[in-house]
């Protein structure tokens, strides 16, 4: 790395003195483009996600992991994750297994971890109030509408009030509609029909008016992911809930996806925009992209394909914000960050390796794809603030969205290029930048 950096600087320095006005510091150009062109030793996903315009980059966590020292060193590493989501600790069976008896010890452990993070206090995304699974046995029975309203009210009020002020957002209702666009026959739906969703959001809004309230589901990213009209039915449901007085701030796109079957980035953007016509914000809430079927041993080609797919999903979130000129896709949450604790193998034994870190906590190409995408967006924002919207090169314009050269780069250089070729690529881009600055500099500056 030191040799590569030294070579780049040595190659560029003679040209910069000719191309730039003497009063313009050479270091400004080098520093402006360092985030996208030179990988840093300490990679920090949340730090660069925020510089790229997101509110957070986070991960979900379950309680057994809190006792794994190696896991915790990554979880609380400086700048890697800025948000935590409890995977199970806030679900109904964990918090009210016996009717009217509430236990929050496991949820508190994760909330306290977020509060006391070595890398700084982390946002807490709370998950989930009402779900058709994870129910205690006493809920799995037949109730009248009035009885179910009382059950929902007691559960939601106790959850929301106990964690009031600690949750940035709540997934109020989770997965109410199946792949075919049909409402799941949960005990809540059987007792109240669609009204259980409106009732849940109204109750949550009264109990914690400061939290963002989300509907959270999978297969919302594209019509291609479900055999039925799930997206249109979900949009219609949200419009109905809001028309009936329910407060729904956001929609969570779970994004449990398969390598090679991830929708195109523009397609995900289009779907997110449809939901933003109904709600204020969206987020990627449970991201993992699994190999299906899983081939052992893994190959570099498998990891690179996975990296491209991670780039499509995270890039869509960034593109949405650019299209709106503000933060509308607010953040990204991984559904745990290491294959060691992925949910996939236990539920789908023929699939797996869905996370950005492997079983041994080694970062995969997907990690570098996402990190370098954040850096590219962050550098683009910095250039826009400085009045430099693009960089003219020999073949057109290199803008903040021209990510092909950096998207899959790991710590050793650009993909498919040797170290010398990588050096020359960086040199060429920096020289193009210098020419741009020279041509736009004020006379006598």
The residues annotated with a catalytic role in the active site are 175, 286
DSSP state of 196: H
Helix or strand run (H / E) with residue 312: helix 300-324
Q: How many Å apart are CA 96 and CA 335, to the nearest integer?
A: 24
Question: What are the C-alpha distances in Å from 412 to residues 363, 406, 423?
Answer: 13, 12, 11
CA 91 to chain CA centroid, Å, is: 21
Q: How many Å apart are CA 294 and CA 316, to the nearest integer?
A: 26
Cβ-based neighbours of 209, under 8 Å, separated by 6 or more: none
Query: Which pair of structure tokens corresponds to residue 140?
Result: 């799995």
Three-state secondary structure readout of 107-147: HHHHHHHHHCCCCCCCEEEEEEEEECCCCCCCCCCCCCHHH
Cβ-based neighbours of 432, under 8 Å, separated by 6 or more: 391, 392, 393, 394, 398
Q: Is the dihedral of CA 422, 428, 434, 440 positive or negative?
A: negative
The phi and psi torsions of 119 (rounded to 5 degrees) equal -85, 15
CB 44 within 8 A of CB 91: no
Query: Which pair of structure tokens corresponds to residue 137?
Result: 């046995």
Task: 298-304: list long-range contacts, CB under 8 Å, 24+ apart.
Answer: 298/353, 300/365, 302/259, 302/353, 303/364, 303/365, 303/366, 304/365, 304/408, 304/415
């Amino acid at each position: 790395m030191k040799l590569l950096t030294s070579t780049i600087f040595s190659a560029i320095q003679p040209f910069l003195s000719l191309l730039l006005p003497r009063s313009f510091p050479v270091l400004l150009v080098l520093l402006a483009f360092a985030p996208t062109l030179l990988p840093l030793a300490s990679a920090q996903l949340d730090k660069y996600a925020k510089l790229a315009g997101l509110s957070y980059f986070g991960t979900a966590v379950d309680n057994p992991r809190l006792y794994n020292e190696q896991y915790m060193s990554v979880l609380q590493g400086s700048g890697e994750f800025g948000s935590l989501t409890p995977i199970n600790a806030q679900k109904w069976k964990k918090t009210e297994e016996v009717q009217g008896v509430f236990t929050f010890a496991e949820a508190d452990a994760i909330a306290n971890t977020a509060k006391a993070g070595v890398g700084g206090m982390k946002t807490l995304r709370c998950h989930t109030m009402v779900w058709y699974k994870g129910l205690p046995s006493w809920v799995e029975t037949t109730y009248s509408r009035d009885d179910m309203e009382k059950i929902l009210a007691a559960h939601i009020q106790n959850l929301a009030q106990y964690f009031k002020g600690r949750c940035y957002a709540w997934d109020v209702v989770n997965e109410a509609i199946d792949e075919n666009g049909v409402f799941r026959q949960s005990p809540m739906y059987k007792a109240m029909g669609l009204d259980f969703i409106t009732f849940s959001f109204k109750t949550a809004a009264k109990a914690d008016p400061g939290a963002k309230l989300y509907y959270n589901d999978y297969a919302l990213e594209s019509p291609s992911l479900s055999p039925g009209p799930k997206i249109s039915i979900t949009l219609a449901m949200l419009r109905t809930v809001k028309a009936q007085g329910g407060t729904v701030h956001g929609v969570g796109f779970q994004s449990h996806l398969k390598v090679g079957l991830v929708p195109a980035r523009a397609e995900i953007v289009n779907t997110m925009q449809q939901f933003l016509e109904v709600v204020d914000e969206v987020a990627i809430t449970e991201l993992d992209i699994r190999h299906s079927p899983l081939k052992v041993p893994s190959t570099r080609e498998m990891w690179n394909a996975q990296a491209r797919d991670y780039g499509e999903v995270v890039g869509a979130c960034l593109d949405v914000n650019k299209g709106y000129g503000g933060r509308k896709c607010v953040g990204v949450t991984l559904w745990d960050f290491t294959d060691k604790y992925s949910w996939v193998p236990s539920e789908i034994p023929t699939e797996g390796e869905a996370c950005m870190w492997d079983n041994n906590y080694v970062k995969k190409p997907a990690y570098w794809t996402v990190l370098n995408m954040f850096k590219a967006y962050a550098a683009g924002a910095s250039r826009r603030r400085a009045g430099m919207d693009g960089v003219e090169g020999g073949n057109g314009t290199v803008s903040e969205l021209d990510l092909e050269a950096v998207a899959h780069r790991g710590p050793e250089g650009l993909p498919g290029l040797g170290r010398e070729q990588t050096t020359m690529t960086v040199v060429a881009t920096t020289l193009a930048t210098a020419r741009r600055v020279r041509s736009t500099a004020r006379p006598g500056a």
